[in-house]
Amino acid sequence: MAKLQSPRGTTDLLPDVMNGHRHVTDTARSASLSFGYEEMATPIFEFTEVFARPLGEASDVVSKETYSFADRGGDSLTLRPEGTAGAVRALISAGLTQTLPQKYFYAGPMFRYERPQKGRMRQFHQIGVELLGVSSAIGDAEVIALGHMILNQLGVATDCVLHLNTLGDTASRSAYRQALVDYLSDHKTALSADSQRRLDLNPLRILDSKDAGDQAILVNAPDLSDYLNSLSQDHFAATRSFLDVIKIPYHINSRLVRGLDYYGHTTFEFITDALGAQGTVMAGGRYDGLASMLGGGEVSGVGWAAGIERLAMLSDIPPLKPVDVMMIGMSDAHMATLFRLAMPLRDHGLRIETAYATNLGKQMKRANRLRSRYVVILGDDEAARNVVMLRSMADGQQSEIAIDDLASHFMSPIV
Ligand code: ATP
Ligand code: MG
């Protein structure tokens, strides 16, 4: 049998890694709450149409990246590749489209069949927020401000540049799409195979191509900003002025697209060059067309998602909380005594380890490895006098403490 390992593109979140993920998620959750975004979760899998319909068969995600399967009842299901479609589906399912705005934060695993590399996994994890039912520009600015605050609290904001663009409203976008298709059609044979395919299905996505040949052709392509009607220009100007009010710097990038039909107006990405090719840590935009594609009527939406793996790689992660006390009993009876004494201390919130064996040397080694602040030792000699030996691992100081005083000693605020 081949060596057992997790499937390609997946990884185990062992405690050290999990600690980094939790730091990112906890930071994001509390920042989100400070803006009034409350946590919610949708199922890990949905009916395939929840993603296929809005994302479009033409999108990269649906055409190449989804994990879809028929379940035993014959339903076609898809592991969620992203969080927005599910969140909007949930809003509609719960009948909340008349109770707006709704403000959601989520965190959890996403699944895409991709070529794994650093910062690109098949099972990866995202945090994200969705603001549903707000069509005005303050909503666009609010989700960006929240994203920026999270990056700032994680200590990575200075490593990231906010790229900002507008795709305009539907009318502006279709005028531009036509101009872009006209231009690119003249260069069709020089485009990459992927971009040739996108020319009919999803031409805006070509702007996002990483192919050098495509890039060269795009230099002279028409610019979306020349096709914006006044409504689209006003929305973008208002978004920018809200960002200016709170002094969030941005870089206008007229090539920044989302490539999904339901995105319009604002798009943005926080990009770093500290992670090599996988530089986008947070990406989002306005998706006013999504709810109606899912059959929920007109509901405005704007939000973003960020890769937890990429954020954890950039952040300084505080180490796991060390052990407060390691308790070592030198016989089974003494182990039982310590097992009992540990309970109220744990209940009080302290992190207590009770040794699983009576070998003092080995247990002291383990106490060191766990960075335990104190060790308590109970042997025959101590038991006879109703005391325990208390050793401070910081300075090696030892003292005896009456068994009856142990709880109050550790529960008093000075320790
Ligand atoms: P890319 O152009 O890198 O493929 P994308 O447009 O597919 O990105 P989004 O769908 O916007 O990415 O996802 C938002 C964020 O989620 C990304 O900016 C990134 O941080 C993270 N992310 C996306 N796909 C992956 C993945 N396969 N592995 C790890 N993180 C990912
Ligand atoms: Mg992708």
CATH class (in words) of the domain with range 15-169+229-314: alpha beta
Q: pLDDT-based confidence at 394, cuts 50/70/90? A: very high
Question: Is 281 close to ligand 1, i.e. is its CB under 6 Å away?
Answer: yes
- Per residue in 11-63, pLDDT (tens digit) is 999 999 999 999 999 999 999 999 999 999 999 999 999 998 877 766 667 77
Q: What is the mean pLDDT of the chain?
A: 94
Return the CA Rg of the chain. 28
What are the structural domain ranges in the chain? 15-169+229-314, 325-411
Q: What are the phi and psi torsion angles at 47 (to 5°)?
A: -55, 135
Tokens 């691992």 sit at which residue? Answer: 393
Q: pLDDT-based confidence at 404, cuts 50/70/90? A: very high
Cβ atoms 7, 113 nearer than 8 A: no
Residue 112 CA, closest ligand 1 atom number: 27
Region 245-269: mean pLDDT is 90
Question: Is 112 close to ligand 1, i.e. is its CB under 6 Å away?
Answer: yes
The pLDDT of residue 62: 73
Q: Which is it for strands 301-307 and 38-39: parallel, antiparallel or unpaired?
A: unpaired
The pLDDT of residue 257: 86
What is the spatial distance between Cα 92 and Cα 300, in angstroms, rounded to a whole number?
A: 13
Alpha helices by DSSP H, listed for 102-203, are 137-153, 170-185, 193-201
Region 322-349: mean pLDDT is 96
Q: pLDDT-based confidence at 1, cuts 50/70/90? A: low
Question: Is 326 close to ligand 1, i.e. is its CB under 6 Å away?
Answer: no
Q: What are the phi and psi torsion angles at 285 (to 5°)?
A: 170, -175
Percentage of the residues of the chain whose pLDDT score is greater than 70: 97
Q: What share of the chain is helix, strand, coil (3-state, %, to 5)?
A: 40, 20, 35
Question: Is 125 close to ligand 1, i.e. is its CB under 6 Å away?
Answer: no
Probe ligand 1: pick from 51, 258, 280, max atoms within 8 Å of CB? 280
CATH class (in words) of the domain with range 325-411: alpha beta
Residue 116 CA, closest ligand 1 atom number: 27
Query: Environment class of residue 395 by beta-carbon count within 10 Å: exposed (0-12), middle (13-18) or buried (19+)?
Result: exposed
Probe ligand 1: pick from 60, 106, 126, 209, max atoms within 8 Å of CB? 126
Q: Which helix (H) or strand (E) holds 85?
A: helix 84-93
Among 306, 273, 320, smallest CA distance to 153 is for 306
What is the spatial distance between Cα 6 and Cα 122, in angstroms, rounded to a whole number?
A: 11
What is the spatial distance between Cα 295 and Cα 314, in angstroms, rounded to a whole number?
A: 39
Overall pTM surpassing 0.75 (yes/no): yes
Residue 310 CA, closest ligand 1 atom number: 20
Tokens 């231009």 sit at which residue? Answer: 183
Retrieve residue 373's tokens: 């602040």
**Closest ligand to residue 259's CA:** 1
User: Both ends of the chain: CA-CA distance in Å?
Assistant: 52
- Per residue in 259-268, pLDDT (tens digit) is 677 889 999 9
- Per residue in 266-316, pLDDT (tens digit) is 999 999 998 887 899 999 999 999 999 999 999 999 999 999 999 999 999
**Closest ligand to residue 263's CA:** 1
Handedness of CA 82, 88, 91, 93 (dihedral sign): negative
Residue 304 CA, closest ligand 1 atom number: 14
Residue 311 CA, closest ligand 1 atom number: 20
Q: Is 45 helix (H, G, I), strand (E, B) or coil?
A: strand
What is the spatial distance between Cα 50 and Cα 28, in angstroms, rounded to a whole number?
A: 26
Cβ atoms 373, 392 nearer than 8 A: yes
Q: pLDDT-based confidence at 345, cuts 50/70/90? A: very high
Task: State the CB neighbour count (10 A cutoff) for residue 233.
Answer: 14
Among 163, 202, 170, smallest CA distance to 184 is for 202
Sequence letter at residue 316:
D
Question: Is 163 close to ligand 1, i.e. is its CB under 6 Å away?
Answer: no
Distance of CA 153 to the CA centre of its chain: 14
Region 219-242: mean pLDDT is 96
CA 51 to ligand 2 center in whole angstroms? 15
* Alpha carbon distances (Å) from 247 to 144, 163, 243, 250: 12, 15, 6, 9
Tokens 């540990």 sit at which residue? Answer: 342
Question: Is 199 close to ligand 1, i.e. is its CB under 6 Å away?
Answer: no
